[in-house]
């Protein structure tokens, strides 16, 4: 099994909060140098920070090129997301919101892959981790823009995985089995909402550390569903439940 013998250098786009922050922290705890790319600074001084706004394509391209220019890159993760203000049917979603979701959830991913994939291949084997969602399998009534952009993002990374040799670049997608209590989700909930049933971002830490250690040697092309206890399984062992529709009775 592949083990990283040199200290890894890794990038987490959307690593300032939520699941991306948990992945960045888990990677840093392995001894990796981790650079978070986001609009706001992560709350951990051990993480490097590059200020980017994914809705600024030219600035994003410049910033990501700088990360690659400054040293080797062994791993990258894309966790950035624009959920939208609130759940609403397609007929009530403004075009500006749809375009923002496309920019952050999909175009930013494309620009990240375009900027870093050559560097990851040079690190052979490099690792690219995409943070995915159950909406990819279930669609998303009440969040159509989120579902459409996440589905396209998953397909983009599936295509990349099929193009790449596992010797050079492993592509792995990870997703939670249920809702996760993150700042992005909290912005859409009432102040008195009960998050007792929600997963915590830290559930992603064991898988993130394992993927960096092995560089996804067994998981190239897979989608891994993370459970509340931090364990994971391939999506091929069972699709995650919809978090949009009422459970079937
Ligand atoms: N939470 C859940 O229940 C859940 C369920 C399924 C899948 N997911 C997936 O998990 C991933 C992370 O979600 P999360 O809930 O952890 O979200 P979150 O806490 O809102 O974090 C989103 C990240 O994206 C960054 N971001 C957003 N807009 C940006 C922009 N314009 N430019 C640069 N960075 C930007 C944010 O940084 P700044 O604000 O600092 O820019 C932050 O680091 C997403 O891919 C989501 O689809 C989450």
Alpha carbon of 112 to ligand 1 centroid (Å): 15
The model carries a pTM of 0.97
Indicate whether 242 belongs to any domain.
Answer: no
Indicate whether 245 belongs to any domain.
Answer: no
Indicate whether 181 belongs to any domain.
Answer: yes
Average pLDDT of span 5-23: 93
Does the C-beta of 59 come closer than 6 Å to ligand 1?
no
pLDDT at residue 114 greater than cutoff 90: yes
Alpha carbon of 106 to ligand 1 centroid (Å): 12
pLDDT digits (tens, 9 = 90+) for 193-238: 999 999 999 999 999 999 999 999 999 999 999 999 999 999 999 9
Indicate whether 4 belongs to any domain.
Answer: no
CA-based torsion, 98, 100, 101, 103: positive or negative? positive
Indicate whether 56 belongs to any domain.
Answer: yes
pLDDT at residue 32 greater than cutoff 90: yes
Indicate whether 224 belongs to any domain.
Answer: yes
Domain, as residue range, for 92: 9-237
CB 79 within 8 A of CB 105: no
Which H or E run contains 11? strand 9-13
Domain count, the chain: 1
Displacement of CA 196 from its chain's centroid (Å): 23
pLDDT at residue 177 greater than cutoff 90: yes
Indicate whether 244 belongs to any domain.
Answer: no
Does the C-beta of 184 come closer than 6 Å to ligand 1?
yes
Looking up residue 169, the CATH number of its domain turns out to be: 3.40.50.720
């Amino acid at each position: 099994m592949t083990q990283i013998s040199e200290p890894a250098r890794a990038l987490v786009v959307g690593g300032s909060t939520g699941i991306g922050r948990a992945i960045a922290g888990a990677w840093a705890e392995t001894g990796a140098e981790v650079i978070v790319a986001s609009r706001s600074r992560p709350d951990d001084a051990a993480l490097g920070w590059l200020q980017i706004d994914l809705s600024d394509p030219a600035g994003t391209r410049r910033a990501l090129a700088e990360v690659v220019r400054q040293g080797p890159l062994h791993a990258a993760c894309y966790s950035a997301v624009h959920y939208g203000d609130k759940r609403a049917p397609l007929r009530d979603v403004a075009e500006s919101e749809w375009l923002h979701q496309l920019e952050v959830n999909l175009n930013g991913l494309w620009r990240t892959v375009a900027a870093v994939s050559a560097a990851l291949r040079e690190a052979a084997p490099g690792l690219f981790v995409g943070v995915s969602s159950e909406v990819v399998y279930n669609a998303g009534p009440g969040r159509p823009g989120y579902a459409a952009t996440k589905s396209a993002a998953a397909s983009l990374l599936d295509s990349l995985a099929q193009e790449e040799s596992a010797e050079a670049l492993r592509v792995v997608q990870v997703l939670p089995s249920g809702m996760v209590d993150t700042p992005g989700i909290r912005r859409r909930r009432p102040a008195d909402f009960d998050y007792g049933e929600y997963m915590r971002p830290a559930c992603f830490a064991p898988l993130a550390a394992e993927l960096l250690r092995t560089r996804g040697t067994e998981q190239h092309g897979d989608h891994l569903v993370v459970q509340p206890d931090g364990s994971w399984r391939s999506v091929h062992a069972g699709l995650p439940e919809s978090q949009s529709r009422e459970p079937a009775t």
